[in-house]
């Protein structure tokens, strides 16, 4: 029996960067990644310089947007909801514990 191959891409932000408004943080030990596809793509939004519409051309089975945490969480959540409603290929990803105030 063979195990199915999974192709994944993780787009990460650092909590400290989000809290300070610094935006996207990259891990310096890793080279830049330019995926062409995979099982799931999750993007923390909104972020300057990220073109979600362009990401629709990539071969991912599932696309998710997750509102960036921080002082603008409510506005970022509204932004993400509107994006998903206008772009049905995208799903909303929420960190429920943060919405409930559990840190």
Instruction: Tell the CATH topology of 7-17+37-103.
Output: TIM Barrel (3.20.20)
- Per residue in 16-51, pLDDT tens? 344 334 444 444 444 556 678 888 999 999 988 889
Q: Tens digits of per-residue pLDDT, 8-18? A: 454 544 333 44
What span, in angstroms and rounded, lies between the C-alpha atoms of 20 and 78?
21
Q: Where are the domains of the chain?
A: 7-17+37-103
pTM: 0.68
Q: How many CA atoms lie within 13 A of 83 on its CB side?
A: 23
């Amino acid at each position: 029996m063979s195990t199915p191959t999974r192709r994944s891409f993780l787009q990460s932000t650092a909590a400290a960067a989000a809290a300070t408004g610094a935006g996207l943080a990259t891990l310096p030990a890793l080279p830049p990644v330019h995926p062409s596809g995979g099982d799931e793509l999750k993007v923390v939004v909104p972020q300057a310089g990220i073109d979600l519409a362009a990401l629709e051309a990539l071969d991912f089975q599932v696309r998710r947007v997750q509102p960036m945490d921080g002082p603008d969480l409510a506005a970022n959540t509204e932004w993400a909801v509107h994006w998903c409603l206008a772009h049905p290929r995208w799903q909303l990803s929420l960190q429920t514990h943060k919405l409930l105030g559990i840190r």
